[in-house]
Amino acid sequence: MEDAIELIFVPAPSVSHLVPAVQTAKLLLQRRPQLSITFLVMKMVFAPESKVNSLIDSLIADAGAADDKRLKFKLVLEDLDLDHAAALKDLDSINNYMNSGLLSEARDYCVNELITQKSRPRLAGFVIDIFYTRVMDLADEFGVPTYVFYVVGAAMLGLAFHFQSLKDQHHGTLEEFIKEDYVNIPTYLNPFPVKLLPSFVLNTTDGVLDWARQFRRAKGIIPNTFFDLEPYAFQFLSKDKTIPPIYPLGPVLNLNTPQESHNQIFKWLDDQPASSVVFLCFGSGCAFPEPQVKEIAYALERSGQRFLWALRKLPSPGSGSLAVTEYTNLEEVLPEGFLERTKSIGKVLGWAPQSAILAHPSVGGFVSHCGWNSVLESSWFGVPMATWPMIAEQQANAFQVVREIGMGVEIKIDYRTGFRDPKNNNPIVPKIVSAKEIEIGITNLMDHSTSKSIRMKAKEVKEKSRKALEEGGSCFNVVESFFENVMKNLN
């Protein structure tokens, strides 16, 4: 048997980053009995009551109670100066502050727990989130490799490398490349609309684009995707020798979401015809202002479609929290009489077990913010999408769903929240999407005669998604290649 080895995972304190990282770790542990994995996790400092903090607590408790001690969670940055952190306004300064504290604690952990204790497994490297590229310097100190866990897909990875290269070649400016309506990006088959570029390209001052330069230092990159979902992107990435080896270990999904608190919802779904319900859900961190909520309600009522709507509330102004919350009284935000008028065709709830709902046979369409985890879950269950992106890279994901993969329709593909005008740094408030626009998108999604092509594509992607995780599938083979890399880079 090979010598025991340990990888240290450093995930971001976000549900959309932490959950797939943990699922990836479990996949690796299943395949290598000599492997141990330790997570260095930190809590969400700007939302102390957030779902991610509860998740971290449960992970630590579960790991402590488990018989198999090969997966451990170490909480770091418990004494973070919250007042200092709250005073930091831009992403780059927040990231630098978090990295500094994390590096110190990670170094102490490695020295005290791994280096000085001879009985511990051999340190084989770090697997870091995209936010923590400075951990690479720590890995260099200990003479071990770093691998980047990339929570989105291969096309987006190629986009980041493409614009990082252009920025370096043109002395930090990208203006001349985003003046036209479309740009050509090597990992996308179709010309890419400039209006859908991620905010880190449109606003190059926040430093995010520079992280891609650091990715090139890694010994490998692990995107949460699979070959057959993005074949064109992998053709480019495999040819570019300046990019580290790519290990698509996906689709990595969390399919064990609890249903107990939503038994009535699933009972209602059981009574609906197959593929007749449209499910609206916008992720763990996205929500709409009240005027937009009302437009969605009007659209659902006018469409006449059966619906299940996961409705969340934006954090209160001045609360100091970034976490979305639950409405205590839905009637206060919805049009008067809406719940009564639609009670025979629809249900409104707060947090929803998304994967369990998408798995239900009565669900025939998914209105989504197009977070990458949601795209993968929709692909896994073969549910076509109506795209309504909001933040980060979601506009690019929506473009990929509609134009590259072909399993979705648009509602408002260029909708964007949380973005600041690069010229004056003022927040850009998105325009309200009208009920009519939303109704058209939902109808296009749910009319099975007009959505036949996207339903066929969704079914095809579902089959490829399942095949990737079968023995002998692409994920199975990639895991073997990844471990060959890890063992080769052991000192």
Residue 475 Cα to chain centre, angstroms? 19
Question: Could you please report the per-residue DSSP string of 234-245?
Answer: HHHHHH-TTSPP
- What count of other Cβ atoms lies within 10 Å of the Cβ of residue 168? 13
User: Position 53: which residue type?
Assistant: N
- Can you tell me whether residue 221 is helix, strand or coil? strand
Q: With contact defined as beta carbons under 8 Å apart, do 379 and 22 qualify?
A: no
- What count of other Cβ atoms lies within 10 Å of the Cβ of residue 465? 24
Q: Does residue 129 have an active-site annotation? A: yes
- What count of other Cβ atoms lies within 10 Å of the Cβ of residue 15? 20
Distant-in-sequence contacts of 400-406, Cβ < 8 A, 24+ apart: 400/153, 400/155, 400/188, 400/230, 400/375, 401/370, 401/375, 403/190, 404/155, 404/188, 404/189, 404/190, 404/230, 404/232, 405/229, 405/379, 405/457, 405/461, 406/453, 406/454, 406/457
Q: Which two tokens stand for residue 56?
A: 């971290």
**79, 129, 271, 447: the active-site residue:** 129
Q: With contact defined as beta carbons under 8 Å apart, do 419 and 428 qualify?
A: yes
Question: Could you please report the per-residue DSSP string of 29-82?
Answer: HHH-TTEEEEEEE---TT-TTSHHHHHHHHHHHHHHH-S-TTEEEEE--TT--H
Question: Could you please report the per-residue DSSP string of 95-152?
Answer: HHHHHHHHHHHHHHHIIIIIIS-TTSPEEEEEEEEGGGTTHHHHHHHHT--EEEEESS
* Cα atoms in the Cβ-side hemisphere of radius 13 Å centred on 204: 18
Query: Between the CA atoms of 389, 390, 391 and 394, what dihedral angle is there, to the nearest 10 degrees?
Result: 0
Residues 6+ apart with CB under 8 A from 192: 159, 182, 183, 184, 185, 396, 399
Classify each residue of 401-410 as buried b or exposed e, where b means 16 or more C-beta atoms within 10 Å of its C-beta.
Answer: bbbbbbbbbb
**3, 17, 210, 414: the active-site residue:** 17
* DSSP state, residue 207: S
Pairwise CA distance, residues 159 & 250, whole Å: 19
Active site residues: 17, 129
